[in-house]
Amino acid sequence: MERGIFGQLVITFGTISLMAIGGANAVVPEIHRQVVEILGWMDAPTFARLFAIAQTAPGPNIMLGSIVGWHVAGISGLLVATVAMLLPSSLLALACNRGLQRYSDNRIVRIVTLALVPIALGLMLASGAVATLAADAGLFGFAITAATTLVTYRSKLNPLVPMAAGTVIYVAGWYAGLV
């Protein structure tokens, strides 16, 4: 049975929204896998550009789903993808919040809550790796990304400082013909 584009947007982003432990950035690898590798809606460099737009634009990180929907099916696709990304996870969060309020003293609930922390961190790390590889910036770009990550992790600098420095270095390398 063939699904229409809007049905596929609902299924794809509705399912992904339920895996967003740690926020929208935690599911970037799965969004990439779905829209680039499985559904073929775009290539990896296009995905990287849409991801960059979603990250630099003001607003929530969930904007990636909206931008992908817009790329695939225009304004209607944007609306469908946004609702599909927000509604299931919002309903799940509401139900979990009520359950946590009611059963917060339960030992199993505390263990599960603590167990979700490393899962969320792992998903966010995978997200960064997928975005780096999808950008296809070569070894030079990968080295800048690794250095930016290391400086951000090891120092107390505002993360925008190493990110801006990395951008300047990459652009200079591009003009110098290193990229």
Instruction: Show Cβ contacts of residue 66 under 8 Å, excluding neighbours closer than 6 positions.
Output: 54, 78, 81, 82, 85
Cα separation, 57 vs 25, in Å, equals 14
pTM beyond cutoff 0.75: no
pLDDT per position as a tens digit, 37-94: 999 999 999 999 999 898 888 877 789 999 999 999 999 999 999 999 999 989 988 9
Q: If you average pLDDT over residues 126-147, what whole number do you get?
A: 83
In the prediction, which pLDDT does 41 show?
Answer: 96
In the prediction, which pLDDT does 112 show?
Answer: 86
Alpha carbon separation from 71 to 9, 15, 64, 91, 156 (Å, rounded): 12, 19, 10, 26, 37
Cα separation, 162 vs 155, in Å, equals 10
Cα separation, 14 vs 22, in Å, equals 16
